Chains A and B, each alone.
Chain A
Amino acid sequence: MSNTTQIQTPLAKSEPLELAGTHLQELPLSGKISLRGNSSNRKLAAAVKKATGLVLPTKANTFNHKGEGYVTWMGPNEWQITCELDQTNKLIDELRADLQDIHSAVVEVSDYYTTLQLSGPLARKVLANGSAFDTHPSQFNKGQCTQTRFGHAAILLQQLSAEPDYRIQIRWSYAQYLFDYLSAALHNHATDQ
């Protein structure tokens, strides 16, 4: 008997969509760690830098990333660290070891969420179908992130490039709802063109 677990993502059966140059798909499952702490304690930023190589963002609604590694501002004392799935345990151990003396929390949330990619010229219109959040480039651009609302779902939205290229993180149980909503919106806008 195999002692490895096969994890199937919630949208494993949903085909990627490409319409009018705009792309929608679920990304492979990543490792996700919720980090709580006080950013004025230098030990916190130092531990994050050591473990991930990334600077802890203290400016609201921004993130830093390199390859598949992300450190994302979620609130004034909350961040999310994203990494390759097989790096998660190592990263958690390192962070917990370095943060054990300070008031903090390191919790794995990898299989609580999944992530979609939505990119291309219609991406802003598609988001506007279900969210009042203003994605105009003067308000939201590369390197910025936010938690907001899309339909009935709470999402984390990150913008990776000016194109725009978005990452949308969603709770596992809402993933199908979000994917169907986004793909219907993309179909509508592609037909309108």
Chain B
Amino acid sequence: MMMIECPWCGKRDQSEFTAHGEAHIARPLDTFGLSDQQWGDYVFFRSNPKGLHYERWVHSFGCRQWFNVARNTATDEVYASYKPGEAKPIIKATTSRAKK
């Protein structure tokens, strides 16, 4: 079981949330100047790391707000939750539990 902190409601069971992939992917501003490959990168390609991952979640069974979570994809450890628009927190211990 994984617990996730909603920035508004506090710590809740994962089953109240829905994950929506990698966070902090800005839409390109120069949309007319983009090549097909650049569009492809923006729309389809994600980093998929083992370890620290910044991702978007929505509290779908709760307050229905979107926010960001820093999570370890190997251990499911949740390092931080933060509201949209807030800066990415710097996380140091990325694979501490994964190495065991």
Those of A129-144 within 8 Å (CB) of chain B: 132-133
- Asked if B64 is an interface residue, CB under 8 A from chain A, the answer is yes
Residues of A within 8 A of B8 (CB): 60, 75-76
A/B pair count, beta carbons within 8 Å: 38
State the 7 A-B residue pairs at the shortest beta-carbon distance, nearest first.
A132-B13, A75-B63, A149-B61, A60-B8, A147-B62, A154-B61, A149-B16
Q: In whole angstroms, what is the CA distance A76 to B8 when docked?
A: 8
Binding site for B on A (CB under 8 A): 60-61, 74-76, 78, 132-133, 146-149, 154
Nearest A residue to B64, CB-CB? A75
B-side interface mostly = loop
Q: How many residues of B contact A (CB 8 A)?
A: 13
Q: In whole angstroms, what is the CA distance A74 to B63 when docked?
A: 6
A25 to nearest B CB, angstroms? 24
A37 to nearest B CB, angstroms? 15
Q: In whole angstroms, what is the CA distance A146 to B11 when docked?
A: 12
